Amino acid sequence: MKHVARKRFGQHFLSDTAIIDAIVAAIAPSPSDAMVEIGPGLAALTQPLVERLGRLTVIELDRDLAARLREHRLLDVVESDVLRVDFTALAARWPGRKIRVVGNLPYNISSPILFHLLDHVAVVQDQHFMLQKEVIDRMVAAPATADYGRLSVMLQWRYAMENVLFVPPESFDPPPRVDSAVVRMVPLVQPPAMDFRTYGDLVQTAFSQRRKILRNTLGRWLEARGFSGDFDLQRRAEEVPVAEYVALAQAVRT
């Protein structure tokens, strides 16, 4: 029976074989990899991956699709909401190895998934995700550009990222109303040491009213924490490089 895409799960199934081949080439899987796929759906990407890997762990929320996937003898199926999956515990299946995470992420919860994986980045080798193109544009954006924002700052401190492939709507069934792309995310080997909760609060405050200069937003936040160091508050949030936000978070008392 043909599976009908379910809107509540944000399902858009990849169907373009040329795009699938290009994604697999970008991921470059090898038999020694410990790989986890989020949202395998109808297995368009899953099958060529598992052919190169020999075995693949997949996370699927849709119970009907999970049942189909269990029939594949080379797949280990985790039937769950990805936001409830403990990737650190999952990585323990491969002692001494880090996991490679891939997937066509549901557009309606892509940012929560990215932030959830931040909590488990220590066990991740790399991530390759298909996302809405405008989301990836924000992830990789440089300071002082229209796309640079909270998502850019929250991810760039921890990952080296690049947009590796454009994916048009007609590559899916049903076609989404937006362009898609594939992003590569590689955790930094020596990330800066800081209190992540402080960093998150700082960045959220800075971008809460991004058209105002920081003196009117972040200035009050810093004053409440007794900060007396040097930081130029006569800028807007999008003008501040990631390294300066990191340095500020390191200097603030927690």
Q: 146 and 210 share a domain?
A: no
What domain range is 104 assigned to?
7-187
Task: List pLDDT tens digits, range 58-69.
Answer: 999 999 999 999
Q: 181 and 222 share a domain?
A: no
Q: Quick one: pLDDT at residue 21?
A: 96
Across the range 64-76, mean pLDDT stands at 96
What the block records as the tokens of 197 is 């909760």
Residues annotated in a binding site for S-adenosyl-L-methionine: 12, 14, 39, 60, 81, 104
- In a domain, residue 2? The reply is no
The structure's pTM equals 0.92
Buried b / exposed e over 45-81, threshold 16 CB at 10 Å, is: bbbbbbeebeebbbbbbbeebbebbeebeebebbeee
Within 8 A by CB and 6+ apart from 190, the residues are none
Task: Write down which residue in 170, 187, 204 finishes a domain.
Answer: 187
pLDDT category at 11 given cuts 50, 70, 90 is low
Within 8 A by CB and 6+ apart from 7, the residues are none
181 sits in which H/E element: strand 180-187
Short-list 163, 167, 168, CA closest to 183: 163
Average pLDDT, the chain: 93
The CATH number that applies at residue 16 is 3.40.50.150
Total domain count, the chain: 2
Within 8 A by CB and 6+ apart from 93, the residues are 34, 57
Residue type for position 66: A
Task: Write down which residue in 187, 213, 231 finishes a domain.
Answer: 187
Residues annotated in a binding site: 12, 14, 39, 60, 81, 104
The percentage of the chain sitting over the pLDDT mark of 90, rounded to a whole number, equals 88
Q: Quick one: pLDDT at residue 56?
A: 98
- In a domain, residue 232? The reply is yes
Pairing of strands 159-167, 34-38: unpaired
Q: 140 and 220 share a domain?
A: no
Task: Write down which residue in 187, 207, 231 finishes a domain.
Answer: 187
Angstrom distance (rounded) from CA 98 to CA 121: 10
Task: List pLDDT tens digits, range 114-170.
Answer: 999 999 999 999 999 999 999 999 999 999 999 999 999 999 999 999 999 999 999
Q: 233 and 181 share a domain?
A: no
